[in-house]
């Protein structure tokens, strides 16, 4: 009996070796039911404009959706309020180009980076704290020479293309239903859609197609995100 009591007292004063202590099993949190697995990102190129951008912003605000806008720097002057609104309403802003003149932009690494820099300056004239790194090549990165793409990467820019399109820039005269069909057809089978749209001059049908697209992607279980 004395030996047994001694053993118990001894055990109380001898610390356990960490190797002997079993770590608690990791806690596995159950997935939330109904968590969306499919996402869509609406991206708009070629703004800001007076004829399209405000109406795009109106529709997005009405639906509570955030989008990504790749802007043209030389179009900001005179439309500072529209760009300011884009920031204030929580959308993501990226650099598209200052001029959208392919021959000048893609002439050399220096000319490409200069174009990006001028667009950056134009954005910062409205939002001095802007530190975004999103970039979209005018016309997309397809076919852009590797030395130019390398220069953009090394300058710290994150280039983003798209994997679905309403074809609004290459379908002059197309109505909203046609643009809607183009977008839906090109997005089929994709769980992470980056949709190309435009808010430049003359894109009224894109504005009309926007509520159709929002309803469609919602009905298919997509959640909306920005880049």
Q: Report the C-alpha gap between 117 and 102 in whole angstroms.
A: 16
Indicate the length of the chain as a whole number: 227
Does the N-terminal peptide bond of residue 2 adopt cis geometry, omega within 30 degrees of 0? no
Q: How far is CA 10 from CA 21, 141, 210, in A?
A: 18, 73, 76
| Residues 88-105: tens digit of each pLDDT | 999 999 999 999 999 999
| Residues 147-187: tens digit of each pLDDT | 999 999 999 999 999 999 999 999 989 999 999 999 999 99
Q: Report the C-alpha gap between 190 and 40 in whole angstroms.
A: 9
For the CA atoms of the chain, what is the radius of gyration?
26
In a domain, 23, yes or no: no
In a domain, 11, yes or no: no
Print the domain residue range for 207: 36-224
In a domain, 122, yes or no: yes
| Residues 110-153: tens digit of each pLDDT | 999 999 999 999 999 999 999 999 999 999 999 999 999 999 99
In a domain, 142, yes or no: yes
In a domain, 76, yes or no: yes
Question: Which CATH number belongs to the domain containing residue 82 in this structure?
Answer: 3.20.20.370
In a domain, 22, yes or no: no
Domain count of the fold of the chain: 1
| Residues 23-43: tens digit of each pLDDT | 333 333 344 455 548 999 999
In a domain, 14, yes or no: no
In a domain, 146, yes or no: yes
The token pair that represents 139 in the structure block? 């016309």
What is the reported pTM? 0.84
């Amino acid at each position: 009996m004395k030996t047994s009591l001694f053993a118990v007292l001894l055990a109380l004063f001898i610390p356990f070796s960490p190797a002997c202590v079993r770590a608690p099993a990791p806690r596995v949190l159950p997935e939330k039911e109904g968590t969306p697995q499919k996402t869509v990102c609406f991206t708009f190129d070629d703004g800001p404009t007076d004829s399209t951008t405000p109406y795009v912003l109106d529709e997005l605000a009405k639906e509570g959706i955030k989008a990504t806008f790749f802007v043209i720097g030389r179009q900001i002057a005179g439309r500072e309020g529209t760009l300011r609104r884009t920031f204030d309403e929580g959308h993501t802003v990226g650099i598209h180009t200052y001029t959208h003149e392919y021959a000048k932009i893609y002439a050399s690494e220096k000319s490409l980076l200069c174009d990006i820099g001028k667009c950056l300056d134009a954005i910062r004239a409205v939002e001095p704290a802007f530190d975004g790194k999103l970039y979209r090549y005018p016309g997309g990165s397809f076919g852009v020479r590797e030395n130019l793409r390398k220069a953009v990467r090394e300058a710290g820019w994150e280039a983003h293309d798209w994997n679905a399109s309403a074809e609004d820039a290459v379908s002059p005269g197309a109505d909203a239903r046609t643009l809607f069909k183009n977008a839906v057809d090109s997005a089929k089978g994709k769980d992470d859609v980056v949709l190309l749209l435009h808010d430049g001059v003359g894109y009224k049908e894109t504005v009309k197609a926007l509520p159709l697209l929002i309803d469609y992607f919602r009905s298919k279980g997509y959640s909306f995100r920005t880049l």
